[in-house]
Chain A
Amino acid sequence: MTEREIDQQLVERVQRGDKAAFDLLVVKYQRKIFRLLSRLIRDSAEIEDVAQEAFVKAYRALPNFRGDSAFYTWLYRIAIDPAKNYLVSQGRRAPRSTQADIEDAETFDDGDHLRDLNTPDSMLVTKQVGEAVNRAIDQLPEDLRTAIVLRELEGLSYEEIAESMQCPIGTVRSRIFRAREAIALELRPILDIAKDKRW
C-alpha cells in the first residue's frame, strides 16, 4: 500500500467524521506546509498562523476531496491561497503557483528557506537537533544505521533495503523502527514534547 493510499484511508475516516484521523494528517504534513509557506512568508509566527488557517480550510473542504490527486498536492493548493492573501494584505504581489511548484514542494530540501527565518533561539534549537541526531546515529549499531539511512535519506523501499542488506523484510522493518526510536529518544528532551502535553 502506497503512502498516497494510506492518506486516502485517513481522508475517508475524516469524511466519516473521525477528527483524530485529521490530526494524523496534520502531523504528517505540517513541516512540509511550513517549508512551503517559508518560501512566501518571512515571518515565522505568520507562517504558523497561515498554516493553521490552511489546515482548517482543508478540513472544511475535505468532503469534496475525491482522491483525484494526492492529498498533499490538494493540500498545497489550499495552503497557497491564505499565503497569497497574506502577501496581498502586506502589499506584496502574490506569486502564481504552477505544477512545477507543487512537484518541487513535494521534495524535502535542506530547509534553506527556514534557515533564513532563524532567530537566535531557533538557531540554538537547530544546533541542538543536529547534535542529537548525530549522537543518536553514532550510537546506533551499524545495521540499524544503514537501514535508516537507506530508508530516510536514499528513499529505498523495504524490499530494496532487504536486498541490499541481504536480510528478510521483517528484519528491515524492525531495524528501521529501532533506529527511529533511538533518534526520537534523543530529540525528545530538546523539542520538549511532554508525554501528556501535546495531545
Chain B
Amino acid sequence: MEQTASNQGLNNRASATLTMERISVLLDGEMDRTEAAAAIAALCADPALRRHWHELHRAGDALRSQEVAAGDAEDFCRRVAAAIAAEPTVLAPRAAKPVSGLRRYWAPGLAVAASAAAVALIAVPLMPTPETVSIAKNSIPSQVATVDVAAQKPLSTIAAARGLNPSFSPYLAAHRELIGNSVVPRATVYLRSSEER
C-alpha cells in the first residue's frame, strides 16, 4: 500500500517534469502545432505552469543579460494582469469558415439549378399551351370579336366617336401600335375594351 502511494508520487513527479519540459520546448518554438496547442491550453489553465513559464523565461534572460533579469519588476506582471482583469474581455470577430473543396464546386451549380427551377415554376404556367389557346378561343369569342372590330375600326372614326379632333388620329395609331406589341399580350384585351368605352 505504502509502495503504491510512493509509486504514484513518482509518476506524478515524472508527469509534472514532462509537462514542464514541454513548456521549455514551447518557449524555444520547437514544437509541432498540435503539441503546442495542447501545451498552451495547459499553461492557460494552470497558474503554477504559468509561474514556471515566467521562471524559464527569466533564466534565459539572465544568461543573456544580468541587468535585464535584475530589472524584472517583481509585481509588474501581477499589476498588468490586474489591469487586464479589470478590462472588458476582448473578442475578435470570427472569420468565416473556409468553404470545403467539394462544396466550392457544387454550390454554384446548385444555385444555378435552383434559379432555373424558380423561373420554370413561375413562367411555365403563364406560357400558352395548345389547350389553353383553344379554350381561350372557345370561351371568349365575343371579346375576340370585339377586339377585331375595334382593330379594324378606322382611327378617324374612333376619334370622332370620342369627340376628339381628327388630328389625334396619329397619336391613337401610335398608341394602338404600342398596345399591340405589349409584353403583356393578355392585357391588351382589357385595354382595348377600355378604349372602346
| Residues of A in contact with B (beta carbons under 8 Å apart) | 1-6, 9-10, 13-24, 26-28, 30-31, 34-35, 44, 48, 51-52, 55-56, 59-60, 62-65, 108-111, 114-115, 117-118, 122, 125-130, 132-133, 137, 148-149, 151-153, 157-158, 173-174, 176-177, 180-181, 183-184, 187-188, 191-193, 195, 197-199
Contact = CB atoms under 8 A, between A and B. Distances in A.
Interface residues of B, number: 58
Contact of A193 (B30, B51, B65, B84): B51
Where chain A touches its partner, the secondary structure class is helix
Query: Nearest 9 pairs between A and B by C-beta?
Result: A111-B67, A15-B92, A3-B29, A177-B24, A183-B59, A63-B92, A126-B70, A111-B65, A184-B55
Interface of B: 20-21, 24-26, 28-33, 36-37, 40, 43-45, 47, 50-51, 53-81, 83-85, 87, 89-93
A31 B69 CA distance: 8
Contacts of A193: 51, 54-55, 74
Contacts of B55: 184, 187-188, 193
B30 A130 contact: no
Nearest to A149: B63
A191 B74 contact: yes
B47 A152 contact: no
Where chain B touches its partner, the secondary structure class is helix
Contacts of A197: 78
B84 A59 contact: yes
Contacts of A52: 76, 79-80, 83
